[in-house]
Structure 1
Amino acid sequence: MYAQTVRYDQFGEPREVLKVEQRLIEPLKQDEILVKMSERPINPSDVIPIRGAYKHRINLPAIPGYEGVGTVIDTGPFAPRSLIGKRVLPLRGEGTWQEFVKTTAELAIAVPDSIPDDIACQLYINPITAWVICNETLQLSSQQVLLVNAANSAIGRLFIQLSALFGFRVIAIVRNARYTGELMQLGAWHVIDSSHVSIYESIMSVTNGQGAHASIDSIGGPDGLELAKSTRAGGIFLSLGLLSGVQVDWSTISKELGVLPQLFLLRHWNQRVSVSTWHETFEKVIDLVQSGKLLLAEPGAKFALHEVKEAVQFAESRHRTGKIILV
């Protein structure tokens, strides 16, 4: 059987290197399942590798996409046949930007009927990352202050919502004041528009000159360094993303500022946790989504898989609203 697949043979701009091809679906191995995909969101973490940011650990040709939802249509000889017809998240197997995805049965996450595909396809990268950082990495106590830049992003909004559950306070940093009301309603303690005021001066004013206990940087470069300067000595500076494409000055952060720099990679957490912990973590996040305590990004425009170049371009434009989805 052949199926539609997005792939790239070299690193570069998505519009130049992404190809849509027909790929032969090989027979399933003993514990594998085959999932017919329904929806896949476009996240920055999907696109950044295409441009070559992690070329040291990506073997070409590669298929993009880390998450999505679909229905199991076949299983290998040792995988439960009862999975056929069930909606799952086929994770940590093949890239999800293809018509069919293979993964191992034990890592597939079952999706409750109450969660529609638009939301289910987003249940992995951002929610699990945010939960693990809050619950395991930072472990901020009540009333401690966390700085989050790119706070209007999908994951930025999750940190704000989780602050209500864990009891810490979030200072949300944005570049457009029109998001202030929404972020405050989600639970932000303060919102700072960095296009009009100094981040450092504003945070020092809000924290009575103490600075934040921790900060999460999704941008890098000068923006990340400004965040680190606003974090008190001994606090944690957590690098989560690189939207600017520029690395932060790690030496300045650790040696001159006395802040503890850390890099969070979800794949490292994946490698160290047991399969049972993997499933238990998803159960907690799914419970929060079902109960309405954790709201994921509203779906925006949807593009067919063969329109992937246009979809990525639109996802990175200022005109988009909501999460852009490949169907």
Structure 2
Amino acid sequence: MAKCVKYYDFGKPQDVLKVENRHVQNPGPGKILVRMITSPINPSDLIPIYGSYSHRIFLPAIPGYEGVGVVEEVGPAVPKELLGKRVLPLRGEGTWQNYVRASAELAIPIPVTIDNLTAAQLYINPVTAWIICKEILELKPGDALLVNACSSSIGRIFAQLSKILGFELIAAVRNDIHTKDLIELGASYVINTSESSLVNMVRELTNGRGVSAAIDSIGGSCGNELACCLKPSGIFLSIGLLSGKPVDWKIISQKGEVKLFHLRHWNKQVSVKKWHETFEQLISYISEKKLKLMPPYEHYDLIHVKEAVLAVESLDTNRGKVFLKSELLQL
């Protein structure tokens, strides 16, 4: 028997999450069974629990989109060389459990140079940021990118990618707590929107031209303001809705080209070869110290998942990630 986190109804995680015992099943053809080490708690893990994606979530469900573990068993026709290897068991079962069954061909091997806490968060934010910069926006030297809520985990990755790819990043934040960090990571400018007009500052920094692209994670009036910073041929890309309020799409569509990005859509069309190449590129940047992910903020045993979620929702986790660890393995 092993433990898993499960929810049978949509609602506040504190109300609907349950820790249950679960029989560990054999992996089956083309699958692997992974003994989990640790999983981060991301906003994208919590949003489905509240019911925002209820039309495509089948209950009961196990949360968790990413994490790292060790291959315990392999199914028929799966190379036995995978046994004992650390991998990311992605796009299979939810990762908030002791054991996860996942596709062998989609599992991402983790080199010894990368620690568990870094490996566990290699998927959602790094892949999203990389695909946006390289494939969606096709950013290059001379381009200017504006990102709001930029002190977030993904915002910090955009800052580092600006240094790697050579584009200019203007980071919009609500206070100066993380300004120094963002500049050190690669941001060209940081604008504190609680003290300065975002539109006026961007116009000043770009000599009146506006930015090539803007990435909105907030929505509402913040997203509307972001769109006003675009140059005439600029791209407005929505990747989140932290405010819970949509932007005014009529206004946005008049300011520039509108795009949306959902990682799940990219997953559906990406080849297995390209999937692995993407992770290999990101892993190489991490190994070369060109890219670093969020440090740990706090660790909780899987059985204390409600306390862990409360920490995510009530504390300033821009200082680090909250992780769920399996009691079966130590970090």
The verdict on a shared fold, with TM-score over 0.5 as the criterion, is yes
1:47 match: 46
Give the deviation of 1:75 after TM superposition: 0.9
User: Does the 8 A contact of 2:210 with 2:231 survive in 1?
Assistant: yes
**Distance of 1:314 and 1:85 partners within structure 2:** 32
> What amino acid is the match of 2:271?
S
Residues 17-56 of structure 1 show CA distances to partners (whole Å, capped at 9, x for unaligned) of 1111112223322111000000101111111111111111
User: Does the 8 A contact of 1:44 with 1:243 survive in 2?
Assistant: no
Give the deviation of 1:319 after TM superposition: 4.3
1:237 match: 236
Which has the higher mean CA deviation after the structures are superposed, 92-101 or 201-210? 201-210
Pairing 1:298–2:295 present: yes
1:204 match: 203
**Distance of 2:230 and 2:297 partners within structure 1:** 35
Once the two structures are superposed, the pairs formed by residues 156-171 of structure 1 within 5 Å of their partners are 156-171=155-170
2:322 match: 324
1:155 match: 154
Which has the higher mean CA deviation after the structures are superposed, 67-76 or 49-58? 49-58
Q: What CA RMSD, in Å, does the superposition of the two structures yield over aligned residues?
A: 1.1
Q: Percent identity?
A: 54
Once the two structures are superposed, the pairs formed by residues 127-206 of structure 1 within 5 Å of their partners are 127-206=126-205
SS of 1:146's equivalent?
strand
SS of 2:140's equivalent?
coil
**Distance of 1:248 and 1:153 partners within structure 2:** 20
**Distance of 1:108 and 1:324 partners within structure 2:** 23
SS of 1:55's equivalent?
coil
> What amino acid is the match of 2:320?
G
**Unmatched segments (≥5 aa) in structure 1:** none
Which has the higher mean CA deviation after the structures are superposed, 52-61 or 116-125? 52-61
**Distance of 2:217 and 2:24 partners within structure 1:** 36
1:101 match: 100
**Distance of 1:54 and 1:226 partners within structure 2:** 27
Pairing 1:29–2:28 present: yes
**Distance of 1:236 and 1:58 partners within structure 2:** 31
**Distance of 2:186 and 2:92 partners within structure 1:** 35
User: Does the 8 A contact of 2:26 with 2:33 survive in 1?
Assistant: no
Pairing 1:287–2:281 present: no
**Distance of 1:161 and 1:313 partners within structure 2:** 29
Which has the higher mean CA deviation after the structures are superposed, 7-16 or 107-116? 7-16
Once the two structures are superposed, the pairs formed by residues 79-94 of structure 1 within 5 Å of their partners are 79-94=78-93
User: Does the 8 A contact of 1:217 with 1:240 survive in 2?
Assistant: yes
1:224 match: 223
> What amino acid is the match of 1:291?
E
> What amino acid is the match of 2:286?
V
1:310 match: 307
Pairing 1:278–2:311 present: no
**Distance of 2:145 and 2:6 partners within structure 1:** 38
**Distance of 2:7 and 2:104 partners within structure 1:** 27
Runs of 4+ in 1 over 4 A off after TM superposition: none
SS of 1:178's equivalent?
coil
> What amino acid is the match of 2:229?
S
TM-score (norm 1): 0.96
**Distance of 1:174 and 1:323 partners within structure 2:** 19
**Distance of 2:162 and 2:20 partners within structure 1:** 43
1:125 match: 124
SS of 1:26's equivalent?
coil
**Distance of 2:79 and 2:234 partners within structure 1:** 47
SS of 2:209's equivalent?
coil
Give the deviation of 1:144 after TM superposition: 1.2
User: Does the 8 A contact of 1:130 with 1:155 survive in 2?
Assistant: yes
TM-score (norm 2): 0.95
> What amino acid is the match of 2:323?
I
Residues 234-269 of structure 1 show CA distances to partners (whole Å, capped at 9, x for unaligned) of 211111112112222222211x32x11111011111
**Distance of 1:10 and 1:221 partners within structure 2:** 28
1:17 match: 16
**Distance of 2:103 and 2:184 partners within structure 1:** 40
Give the deviation of 1:285 after TM superposition: 0.4
> What amino acid is the match of 1:134?
C
Residues 200-249 of structure 1 show CA distances to partners (whole Å, capped at 9, x for unaligned) of 11111211222111011111111111111111222111111121122222
2:251 match: 252
